[in-house]
Amino acid sequence: MNLWRLSLAYLRHQKLTAALNVFLLALGSAIIVVLLLASTQLKDNLVRDAGGIDLVVGAKGSPLQLILSSIYHIDAPTGNIDLAEARRWSRHRLVDRAIPVALGDSVQGFRIVGTSDDFRALYDAEIANGRSWHAPMEAVLGAQVAAATGLAVGDTFAGVHGFAASGHTHEHSRYRVVGVLAPTRSVIDRLALTDVRSVWAIHGAAGHDAGHETGHGHDHDHDHDHDHDHDHDHDHDHEHEHEHEHEHEHEHEHEEDHADDGHDASHHDATTTADHTLLPSILAPDFPATGRQITALLLISDSPLAGLTLPRLINRVSSLQAAAPVAEITRLLGLIGFGLDTLAAFAGLMIAAAALSVFVALYNALRARRVDLAMMRSLGASRAQLLRHILLEGQMLAIGGVTLGLLIGHLVTEGLGLWLQDAQLFHLTGWAWQPAEWGLLAMAVTVGLLAALLPAIQAYRVDIARTLAGE
């Protein structure tokens, strides 16, 4: 027998009351734990997905929308920008690296991103299987895309227009999977990467050029651009017919390609690797930009000035807008943070209610236990022992409640994480510990102490003779 067992015996004796108090405390602290874990991990995710990108240049519109669409891939793009103008900014002296992004299609709900090979470096995404693309219509899948769609190197798939799971399918030009990325726990896991030229090939008139490039090489681009300009001059009906003819040619070409692959894939790979390979940058000064568009341009700068100077410059001088991911994340978290604060305040209120409930339970129990306490004194207990006995009981309730709350909070967060994984939102895990959780435990000790203090002092003051005789 000791004070621990004694306090525990009293809690067991009042099972329902003790359970209610523990439950109240657990609920309040579990909410705080979930908020804590979710908000810090959300921020970590947002920062990691920003991949060190300092600035995003895109069409005018909401800067938050621009960031959400071209970095986090969770909103519709603001529009397209002319490649020529984008290229002008990519060559600015404050810009160290520029990566184009062309959006528009998806595969089974995962976005297809037309970009350059540099994109992978933003997220340190290694190719786990296969290789990067060497030609338009070749695609490299993020780990989650490969896992969810079941597509592997060598498979082909058709892009779906738009970002919904179903929609108009671009059956006329299928992508071929040439690589699969290793998981990175960032947004790239949920993307299918390809060259910007693939997106051009599928959308609009520029597509014909890209298609031809596969067969003829880059030198002819210029001529085809002229074709493309002509297309625009035609009225709509004509253009449509024109496209139709081209589509037929296109399919033929592709079938031939596939035949080649089927018979001698290794040979094909060998030659392309030897040829070396990566397509020339569309941002290179000698690349014909006329009439071509991309969705956004991701800029990386080593200069601390870039974050201040460039957006002002770009927003004022050009028809484009520049948005800084860090600023937008901060703004977004500020908006979410308001909701989180409200929830946290609610959880705090719950803990306060729980503390009050612990107090009332101990206080009421003490009235019934005065006799027990007096008896303990007459059995040899000192006043200090009784004080400790009651304080201990408060501590047990509080620490028990918060410990249970921590457990529930982590389990719920992990459950949310598993659920969000299916929803393709962000990576959330319950198996992480925030230093602030120590604060929660410290708070438990304080709450237990405060709730038990008055009853404990009453226990300390119990008059043995009067209590035992006063019946």
Residues of this chain that interact with other proteins (CB under 8 A) are 1-2, 5-6, 9-10, 12-13, 371-372, 374-385, 464-465, 468-469, 471
Q: In whole angstroms, how close is the CB of 437 to other proteins at the nearest point?
A: 33
* CB of 277 or CB of 382, closer to other proteins: 382
Q: In whole angstroms, how close is the CB of 46 to other proteins at the nearest point?
A: 52
CB atoms within 10 A of CB 356: 15
* CB of 127 or CB of 468, closer to other proteins: 468
Q: In whole angstroms, how close is the CB of 33 to other proteins at the nearest point?
A: 32
* CB of 10 or CB of 359, closer to other proteins: 10
* CA distance to 233, 281, 316, per residue, from 320 (Å): 26, 21, 9
CB atoms within 10 A of CB 338: 10
> 3-state secondary structure string, the chain?
CCHHHHHHHHHHHCHHHHHHHHHHHHHHHHHHHHHHHHHHHHHHHHHHHCCCCCEEEEECCCHHHHHHHHHHCCCCCCCCEEHHHHHHHHCCCCCCEEEEEEEEEEECCEEEEEECCHHHHHCCCCEEEECCCCCCCEEEECHHHHHHHCCCCCCEEEEEECCCCCCCEEEEEEEEEEEEECCCCCHHHHEEEEEHHHHHHHCCCHHHHHHHHHHHCHHHHHHHHHHHHHHHHCCHHHHHHHHHHHHHHHHHHHHHHHHHHHHHHHHHHHHHHHHCCCCCCCCCCCCCCCCCEECEEEEECCCCCHHHHHHHHHHHHCCEEEECHHHHHHHHHHHHHHHHHHHHHHHHHHHHHHHHHHHHHHHHHHHHHHHHHHHHHHCCCCHHHHHHHHHHHHHHHHHHHHHHHHHHHHHHHHHHHHHHHHCCCCCCCCCCCCCHHHHHHHHHHHHHHHHHHHHHHHHHHCCHHHHHHCC
* CB of 16 or CB of 384, closer to other proteins: 384
Q: In whole angstroms, how close is the CB of 343 to other proteins at the nearest point?
A: 38
Q: In whole angstroms, how close is the CB of 356 to other proteins at the nearest point?
A: 24
Residue whose entry in the numeric block shows the structure tokens 């909401």: 62
Q: 70 burial class (0-12, 13-18, 19+ CB within 10 angstroms)?
A: buried
Q: Which two tokens stand for residue 268?
A: 């094909």
* CB of 381 or CB of 440, closer to other proteins: 381
* CB of 208 or CB of 369, closer to other proteins: 369
Q: In whole angstroms, how close is the CB of 444 to other proteins at the nearest point?
A: 24
* CB of 375 or CB of 453, closer to other proteins: 375
* CB of 148 or CB of 462, closer to other proteins: 462
CB atoms within 10 A of CB 269: 15
Q: In whole angstroms, how close is the CB of 409 to other proteins at the nearest point?
A: 31
* CB of 330 or CB of 382, closer to other proteins: 382
Q: In whole angstroms, how close is the CB of 464 to other proteins at the nearest point?
A: 5
Q: In whole angstroms, how close is the CB of 350 to other proteins at the nearest point?
A: 29
Q: In whole angstroms, how close is the CB of 10 to other proteins at the nearest point?
A: 5
* CB of 180 or CB of 358, closer to other proteins: 358
* CB of 350 or CB of 376, closer to other proteins: 376
Q: In whole angstroms, how close is the CB of 462 to other proteins at the nearest point?
A: 11
**Which sign does the torsion angle of CA 324, 326, 330, 335 carry?**
positive
* CB of 1 or CB of 274, closer to other proteins: 1
Q: In whole angstroms, how close is the CB of 467 to other proteins at the nearest point?
A: 9
